[in-house]
Amino acid sequence: MEKQKNMETGNPLGELSIPKLLLKFTVPSIIAMLTSALYNIVDQFFIGNSVGELGNAATNIAFPLTTCCLSIALLFGIGGASAFNLAKGREEEDAVYYMGNALMGMVSLGCILLIFTQLFLSPMLVFFGTPDSVMEYAKSYVRITSLGFPMMILATGGGHLIRADGSPNFTMILNLTGAVINTILDALFVFGFHWGMEGAAAATIIGQYISGVMAMGYLSNCKSVTLVREHFHIEKKYIATVMSLGAAPCSNQLAMMVVQLVMNKSLTYYGALSRFGQEIPLACAGIIAKVNQVYFSFVIGMSQGMQPIASFNYGAKKYHRVKKVYLMSIFCGFAVSLTAFLIFQVFPHAIIGLFGDGSGEYVSFAVSYFRIFLFFTFVNFMQPISSNFFTAIGKPKKGMFLSLTRQILFLLPLIVILPLIMGIDGILYAGPAADITAAVVSGVMIGREIYGRGVFRESMGK
C-alpha cells in the first residue's frame, strides 16, 4: 500500500527543487548543530567568568568525552538516516528496521559509556593528561555530565532519524529547547547559586534529558513509519548496514577525540617548557576548539541537510539532482568558511575576551592560536561535506577514508613531529598544514567521483 502511494504521488525529496529542499533540510540541521555547540560554549562562558583559567582547562580535558558521545550519535544517527532514506528511495518495505536498530545502538552504547566513565573516572582523567591543578575541577564536571551521556546521544542521533522521517523542524525545536534551558540554568546555577563547575554540569544534563525525552516522544509516533517492538531487535543485516553508512562521520569524530587527547598532552608538556606554563595553552585551546565548533556547526549542518536529499535521489537513480545538491552545498560551505576565516583573523582579542580575563601570556597565546592554527579555515568545508556525500550515496569506505584524512593521516603526525623541531609553536602550525592537505585530497576524490568515468557521470549528464 505504501509502495503504491509513493508511486502515485512521488516523494518530495525527488520532486521539489534542490534549492528549496536544501533550505528546508539545511537550516534546521544547522540550528540543531549550533545548539549542540552552544551546550559546550555556554558552559565555557559561565565557567570562564566564574571559575577562571583552571575551569576552562577542566572543560577542555572533558571535551574528548563529549566528542565520543557525538561519534556514537553520528554512527547510528547518520548511519540509520542514510540507510532509512536509501531504502525508502528504493521503495523497500523494511526501511523501518534500520531506524529501530539504530535507536537500540544509541541507547546501548550510551549506557556503556556512562558506566565506564563512572567506574574509571580518575584513571581516565590522568590518561587524558590532566594537570594536578586542574584535576578536582575536571572530576567535579565529568562525574555529573557523564550522567547525561545516553540522553545526549539519543537527542543528537535521534534528531537525524527525525530529519530522515521528514521533520527537520522538530529536530531544530528539540535541540533549541535543550540549549535554551541549559543557558538559563547555567546563569542560575553558576552566577545565581555560585555552584561553579557542578552547577554548569547540572545545567547541561538537565537540558540534555529534556531534549532526549522530546526525541523519544516523536520517534514513538513517526510520520512515515510506525515503530513497534520487533523493529528494535538487533539484526545483523540491519545494524551492519547502519554502522557501515555511519562509519565515516563516526570515524571523523573518533579521530577528533584521539587528536584532542594527543593535543592536550602535547600542550601540557610543551607548555611547561615554554613561558606559558601547563594551564594557559590547555585553557586557550579548549576555548578556541569550541568557538571553531560553532563555525563547523554551519558546515556539518549543511552536509547533514544534504544527506537525505542525496541519499533518496541516488537510490531513485536521479543522478543529476545528486550532483546539484552537492555543488550547492559546496558553494554555501565556502561562503561560510570564508566569513569564519575573516572573523578569526580580525577579531581574536574580542572573542577570547568573552570567556573571562587572563594574563598577558594567556591573551598572547590565544591570539596566536586563532591566527595560526585556524589560518586555512576558508578551505575546511571541503572535507566534511565531501565525506558525508560519499556516505549519503552509499559509498561508506570512501567517506570513512576522507573523514580520517585531516585528523589521523595529517594532523596527528604533525602534532607529534613539529613540536620536536619548533616547540609549542609546532602545534600551532600543524593545524593549517593538515587543513590544506585534507582539502586537496577531498577535491581530487570528489572530482574523480563526479567527473570521472562510469555510470554516475553518464547518468548525470542526461
Tell me the pLDDT tens digit for each residue of 155-208: 999 999 998 898 888 988 888 899 889 999 999 999 999 999 999 999 999 999
Give me the pLDDT at residue 101, please. Answer: 95
pLDDT bucket at 269, cuts 50 / 70 / 90? very high
d(CA 199, CA 455): 57
pLDDT at 288 over 50: yes
d(CA 179, CA 41): 11
pLDDT at 458 over 90: no
Q: Is 427 exposed, middle or buried (0-12, 13-18, 19+ CB in 10 A)?
A: buried
Per-residue pLDDT reduced to its tens digit, 301-351: 898 889 889 888 888 888 888 889 999 999 999 999 999 999 999 999 999
Cell of 186: 547555567
DSSP conformation letters of 181-236? HHHHHHIIIIIIS--HHHHHHHHHHHHHHHHHHHHHHHHTT-SS----GGGGS--H
Per-residue pLDDT reduced to its tens digit, 423-434: 999 999 999 999
pLDDT at 462 over 50: no
d(CA 438, CA 442): 6
Please, which residues have CB within 8 angstroms of residue 227's CB and are 6 or more apart in sequence?
96, 99, 100, 103, 219, 220
Least confident of 38-42, 119-123, 223-227, 238-242: 38-42
d(CA 89, CA 309): 10
Per-residue pLDDT reduced to its tens digit, 361-394: 999 999 999 999 999 999 999 999 999 898 888 8
d(CA 86, CA 113): 30
Angle at alpha carbon of residue 207, lines to 206 and 210, rounded to 5°: 85
Integer CA distances (angstroms), 391 to 258, 339, 461, in order: 22, 27, 22
Give me the pLDDT at residue 200, please. Answer: 92
What type of residue is 149? F
Give me the pLDDT at residue 129, please. Answer: 84
pTM exceeds cut of 0.85? no
pLDDT bucket at 456, cuts 50 / 70 / 90? low
Give me the pLDDT at residue 457, please. Answer: 56
